[in-house]
Amino acid sequence: MKHIISALVENKPGVLAQVAGMFAARAFNIDSLVVGRTEDPKLSRMTIVVVGDDRVVEQVRKQLAKVVPVVKVQDFAGEPVVARDLMLISVAAPPDKRPEMLSLIEMFKGKVVDLGPKFIMVEVSGPEAKIEAFISACKPYGIKSVARTGTIAMPRAAKTDV
């Protein structure tokens, strides 16, 4: 089962290496890892997606909490979350196929970010399944390249927060 883990860490050199080293030393596979600054410049948030049973993920969470620069660890399992991936994809789009491509992009709520004589670059964000579906839909046209961010996630607001 896929688990999304959020780790609030000190924004210092070497923290990413320490966390990645912890995973490697214990033979945990990282499916996705995204790191970015938070509203506090002293902290960064790591969003880590791991695949494993609850026991394995609990061990990962506990090991993460022991890494010195880690301030807080949260497993989003069983919680309502908003999770998104971001992708840039360059797809063959000769002039005669552009109306088809533009229709496909609109259907997936994508955004054209660059246009060349033979290719079109599109930005798509959303759940991982949407990203995968867009890639599949683009394959018949010819994909030149793909760059993806991995998953970012935050818990949904509780009804009492509204």
116-146 pLDDT, tens digit each = 999 999 999 999 999 999 999 999 999 999 9
Q: Identify the burial level of 64 via C-beta atoms within 10 angstroms of its C-beta, where 0-12 means exposed, 13-18 middle and 19 or more buried.
A: buried
Q: Predicted confidence band at 21 (pLDDT cuts at 50, 70, 90)?
A: confident
What percentage of residues in the chain have a pLDDT greater than 90?
68
Strands 70-75 and 2-10: antiparallel
Question: pLDDT at position 159, please?
Answer: 53
Q: How far is CA 145 from CA 34, 90, 97, 139, in A?
A: 20, 5, 18, 11
Average pLDDT, the chain: 91
Q: Predicted confidence band at 48 (pLDDT cuts at 50, 70, 90)?
A: very high
3-class SS at 109? coil
Q: How far is CA 86 from CA 6, 25, 27, 29, 94, in A?
A: 18, 29, 27, 21, 25
Q: CATH classification of 82-154, choosing from 3.20.20.140, 3.30.70.2190, 3.40.710.10, 3.30.70.1150?
A: 3.30.70.1150
Question: 30 and 16 in contact (C-beta within 8 Å)?
Answer: no
pTM of the model: 0.83
Q: CATH classification of 2-75, choosing from 3.30.559.10, 3.90.580.10, 3.30.70.3460, 3.30.70.260?
A: 3.30.70.260
Whether the per-residue pLDDT at 110 is higher than 50: the answer is yes
Which helix (H) or strand (E) covers residue 22, if one does?
helix 15-25
Query: Residues 73-85: what's their mean pLDDT?
Result: 90
Which helix (H) or strand (E) covers residue 58, if one does?
helix 54-66
> Structural domain boundaries of the chain?
2-75, 82-154
